[in-house]
Amino acid sequence: MQKDSSLYILYKQAFHAYYQPLCQYALTLVASAADCEDMVQEIFLHVWEKKKELIGKEELRYYLFTAIRNRCLNYLQKNKKDRFTQLTEWEEPVETIIERDWEEPVDLAGAVAEALDRLPLRCREVFVLSRMGKLTYQQIAETTGISVKTVENQIGKALKIMRLFVREKRLFSLSPVGAIIWLAHCVGVPALSWFFL
């Protein structure tokens, strides 16, 4: 009885920690937020019913992101959809606008979605797995079926495109650090851990 209770607590913690990042990742592959939520919930249910041994272990995160990727690809194949969508539904509305002294406000969630939309499909998927999913390059390589070197190249390409986007949109008027922070905040990672200009 005590074991099931502590296992359930760990399961709940994992659900709260990974639910939103998994939904955001799924939205980069599938257009429907409702379908993404359903798939994530189904995966968590599957973990509780069939994969309890992963609960409380580091391998759970890797399993979840791999499972949601596979579920999304199956969904796309079944529904013959292959487009990416914006992440704006998952952003907090209070923090979406930053006022600049001499220009119009910047819609942060929209800017992040626009920046991510500029990335090629594979590049975007690898970037989201790395930055939102916090998977290692090796785990990303195994999940996507590409080499670690290709993962490194895709991350480099994504960062280059994102930096260019920040310069083009003149988001530096937020301050050099401000441009980094809004992008990082909107994709849910610590700013200086991935985007250093």
Q: How far is it, in rounded angstroms, from Cα 106 to Cα 57?
A: 40
| Model confidence band, residue 88 (pLDDT cutoffs 50, 70, 90) | very low
| Model confidence band, residue 78 (pLDDT cutoffs 50, 70, 90) | confident
Q: How far is it, in rounded angstroms, from Cα 96 to Cα 94?
A: 6
Same domain as 181, residue 159: yes
Same domain as 164, residue 125: yes
Quote the mean pLDDT of the chain.
75
**What own/partner pairs with CB < 8 Å and gap ≥ 24 does 141-146 have?**
142/66, 143/62, 143/65, 143/66, 143/69, 144/69, 146/122
**What are the angstrom distances between the C-alpha of 168 and each of 91, 161, 162, 172, 179?**
23, 10, 10, 9, 12
Average pLDDT over residues 96-124: 66
Sign of CA dihedral 155, 161, 163, 166: negative
Angle between helices 59-79 and 33-50 (to 10 degrees): 130
Q: How far is it, in rounded angstroms, from Cα 189 to Cα 182?
A: 10
Which range, 42-56, 66-80, 84-98, 175-189, is most confident? 42-56
| Domain, as residue range, for 13 | 2-79
Chosen domain end from 79, 99, 134: 79
Average pLDDT over residues 168-176: 58
Q: How far is it, in rounded angstroms, from Cα 90 to Cα 97?
A: 15
Domain of residue 123, CATH code? 1.10.10.10
Q: How far is it, in rounded angstroms, from Cα 27 to Cα 38?
A: 12
Q: Per-residue pLDDT tens for 11-55? A: 999 999 999 989 888 888 887 889 989 999 999 999 999 988 988
pLDDT-wise least confident of 24-38, 84-98, 161-175: 84-98
Same domain as 64, residue 125: no
Residue 153 has pLDDT above 90, yes or no: yes
- Tell me how many domains the chain contains: 2
Average pLDDT over residues 74-95: 52
Same domain as 143, residue 98: yes
Same domain as 149, residue 175: yes
Same domain as 112, residue 54: no
Higher pLDDT, residue 179 or 112: 112
* The one-letter amino acid at 120: P
Same domain as 41, residue 128: no
Chosen domain end from 79, 102, 122: 79
Structure confidence at residue 90 (pLDDT): 40
Same domain as 25, residue 112: no
pLDDT-wise least confident of 37-51, 136-150, 159-173, 175-189: 175-189
Residue % of the chain over a pLDDT of 70: 69
Higher pLDDT, residue 65 or 191: 65
